[in-house]
Amino acid sequence: MNTLSSPHRPQDVVDIAQQRRPGFMPQIGLILGSGIGGLADQIEQPTFIDYQELPGFPQPKVQGHRGRLVLGILGGKPVACLQGRVHFYEGNVQNYLRQMVRSLQLMGCHALLVTNAAGSLKPDMPAGSLMMMTDHINFSLPNPLCGANDEAIGPRFIGMDQAYDSSLQQNMRQAAAKANILLHEGVYLGCLGPSFETPAEIRAFSRLGADAVGMSTIPEVILARHCGLKVAGVSLITNLAAGMGQELLTHEHTLQQAAKSSAKLQELVVEFLRISPL
């Protein structure tokens, strides 16, 4: 697929969603990371649409990503949940990412909540911790906005000084307090992958100001801001980063640790949706 243009339109996805769930208009979109797909099971009155039914959507090939759109109610709010994402390391995915995020916006969403599994660069933020993303550092090149720009969707140049919305961050803090969940805050650094980082890279990233590291999320955040969506983000910490702990870093380990701690993340997200005036 050409990275500069796609034969598919976000409206094609919206039309199918309306056929399957007439009159449904989600307020917030969710993108679920590795091993976190169980959150979709909490959605009430669900309508499931496999990605293979949606024009321009990918078929996820990474374990831990189901590959379906779930429409329904979560935390009392109508949501559109992408249960599974694609990553730049999988190949030519730029158009897939554009179609996924822009479809959420066109369905009616005005905010996006992104989640991911990440490694911690802070000894006091071990596996099982939750970290609210307050900013990011983008090493996951290329930028998903490279190529031709559609002014009807967003401007050629978009500022990222408010990548993560301050009002949504405050709602997340309130949700954590209400649920009695310790919520760390920090900067997420996104790498291209699929190789894990070296200990030397982790030391360098720490000096740059990163608190957690992963291989996803930032492209969706950039696309969301480009089309006017507010963004909130939460990382589920699955391990200490390379050189900081004794465990062998593997994707299987990531999935296992995410499964152990996903209940806490699910509780936080549901409470966040419940109290947020979206």
> Catalytic site residues?
34, 65, 87, 89-90, 117, 215-216, 239, 251
Q: How many residues make up the chain in this entry?
A: 278
Listed residue (212, 201, 34) closest to 135, CA to CA = 212
Q: How far apart are the first and last CA of the chain?
A: 35
SS (H, E, C) the chain: CCCCCCCCCHHHHHHHHHHHCCCCCCCEEEECCCCCHHHHHHCEEEEEEEHHHCCCCCCCCCCCCCCEEEEEEECCEEEEEEECCCCHHHCCCHHHHHHHHHHHHHHCCCEEEEEEEEEECCCCCCCCCEEEEEEEEEECCCCCCCCCCCCCCCCCCCCCCCCCCHHHHHHHHHHHHHCCCCEEEEEEEEECCCCCCCHHHHHHHHHHCCCEEECCCHHHHHHHHHCCCEEEEEEEEEEECCCCCCCCCCHHHHHHHHHHHHHHHHHHHHHHHHHCCC
Contact between residue 47 and residue 79 where contact means Cβ atoms under 8 Å apart = no
